[in-house]
Amino acid sequence: MYMKYRIEKDSIGTVKVDDSKYWGAQTQRSLENFVISNEIMPKALIYAITSIKIASAKANQTLKKLDTKKAIAIVKAGEVILSGKLDDQFPLKIWQTGSGTQTNMNVNEVIANYANKSLRANVIHPNDHVNMSQSSNDVFPSAIHIAVADMVVNYLLPSLDNLVTSLKTLEKKFAKVIKIGRTHLQDATPILLSQEISAWRTSVENCKLQILNSLNSLYELPLGGTAVGTGLNAPHDFDKKAINNLTQIYKLPFQVMNNKFDGLAFKERVVSIHSQLKVLATSLYKIANDVRFLGSGPRAGIGELILPANEPGSSIMPGKVNPTQSEAMMMVCAQILGNDTTISFAASQGNFELNTFMPVMAFDALWSIRLLSDAMDSFTKKCIVGIEVNHEKIKYNLDNSLMLVTALAPKIGYAKSAEIAKYAHKNNLTLKQAALKLKYISETEFDQLVRPERMI
């Protein structure tokens, strides 16, 4: 198929670019030089960089550094990108330069070429105008903070809140269901099912609080630090004006970072927020695993919960239904833990004034947020809200538990209570039968003391 090309040039020389594309020479070079796997820069990050270009153009216009005509053209081109109409213009892999320079230039070039086409004149340069008062070194870390904060606020937290709400509903629904508790995978003393679920809910709520605490540090942006944090080539007050414009775009409380050198060289804030995502993942894993085991069976397992039957569970065993939502959630959580390891290691890399593992940090952090958000939505809608109770199995497990003997300890002592439990287990008797056989307590006393509803 015939393809029309145009010639673009940069400081290295000339390169052929598909004439239907808005990107320029630096994007094309990156596209050809880094043919590594299929992972491309997330749209959320592209949109964050684009928003920085819009905010910067407005700031440069206000500061009389960029003329109004060019500023308006840059803003309009950026708004087209944010509409999603140019998503196919950002093909670069995350496996590129560690500063993200090529993706910053990808956005610069697309905006410049789109704006020039709109103006019908070649007057806007990707470096001189779109990248004015900026460097990839302050744009890319700022974009990571923006994208991650936006995704957490608008995707992760709503999904988390929906899960909490659904768990609260289950608590109320099963408020009177008494079941046997379990520790070390062994029978323990009785507990309300609502109490068991309340632990799940509280854990997720605590995770939210920690996420919110870490989120605050992401609102600080190093934009205006340019190449190494000194702000070279950025006019006075550019940072304040540009970041104020970003707060208007995202409706989030972004502010100027006090120490831009830290913002360029260190990534502890990204590590911190992702560490809280890791903590959330560990809690979600436990919840999903508990649900999976409590619903196991339905006849040869614990079988206390009845999980929604969303799809056939086996290609060979008719009628089998598996805890697929729990398994999907648990796999997602495993991936989050892997992402956290990558992000933690990446944050330690780079030398002197710049971290040079930023693209993989951005990709993994945003991937984690999307994974957790989608997994919580799926787990909530396809599992949690549809959970029912197998009352007969719960009663059977409760009535046959040897750990109800704990209620006798204050009356007859630990040693005799343990002897009753062991005797009952060895001779396949109920606790009551064993207690009466050993003559440690009367039937009336046993009935008064061993009452599960008083043991919760």
Over residues 282-316, the pLDDT tens digits come to 999 999 999 999 999 988 999 999 999 988 888 88
369-409: pLDDT as tens digits:
999 999 999 999 999 999 999 999 999 999 999 999 999 99
Which is catalytic among the residues 314, 348, 391, 442?
Answer: 314
Angular region, 251: left φ>0, alpha ψ -120 to 50, beta rest: left
Q: Is 314 a catalytic residue?
A: yes
Q: What's the CA gap between 164 and 151, in Å, rounded? A: 19
144-197: pLDDT as tens digits:
999 999 999 999 999 999 999 999 999 999 999 999 999 999 999 999 999 999
The amino acid present at 337, given as its one-letter code, is L
216 with 145: CB under 8 angstroms?
no
Q: What's the CA gap between 126 and 273, in Å, rounded? A: 33
Which is catalytic among the residues 11, 37, 184, 315?
Answer: 184
Residues near 211 by beta carbon (within 8 Å), at least 6 away in sequence: 152, 156, 157, 160, 273, 276, 277, 280
341-370: pLDDT as tens digits:
999 999 999 899 999 999 999 999 999 999
Residues 426-453 have a mean pLDDT of: 95
Q: Is 184 a catalytic residue?
A: yes
313-323: pLDDT as tens digits:
888 887 888 99
| Banded model confidence at residue 440, pLDDT cuts 50, 70, 90 | very high
Residue 85 DSSP code: T
For the chain, give the mean pLDDT. 97
21-61: pLDDT as tens digits:
999 999 999 999 999 999 999 999 999 999 999 999 999 99
221-255: pLDDT as tens digits:
999 999 999 999 999 999 999 999 999 999 999 99
Please report the pLDDT score of residue 373 as a whole number.
98
Residue 24 DSSP code: -
| Banded model confidence at residue 2, pLDDT cuts 50, 70, 90 | low
141 with 104: CB under 8 angstroms?
no
State yes or no: pLDDT of 1 exceeds 60.
no
Please report the pLDDT score of residue 313 as a whole number.
83
Residues 407-422 have a mean pLDDT of: 96
Q: What is the dihedral of CA 223, 263, 278, 195, to 10 degrees?
A: -80
Residues near 162 by beta carbon (within 8 Å), at least 6 away in sequence: 376, 377, 380
Please report the pLDDT score of residue 112 as a whole number.
98
Considering only residues 313 and 126, tell me which one the structure prediction assigns the higher pLDDT.
126
State yes or no: pLDDT of 3 exceeds 80.
no
Q: What's the CA gap between 15 and 3, in Å, rounded? A: 15
253-287: pLDDT as tens digits:
999 999 999 999 999 999 999 999 999 999 999 99
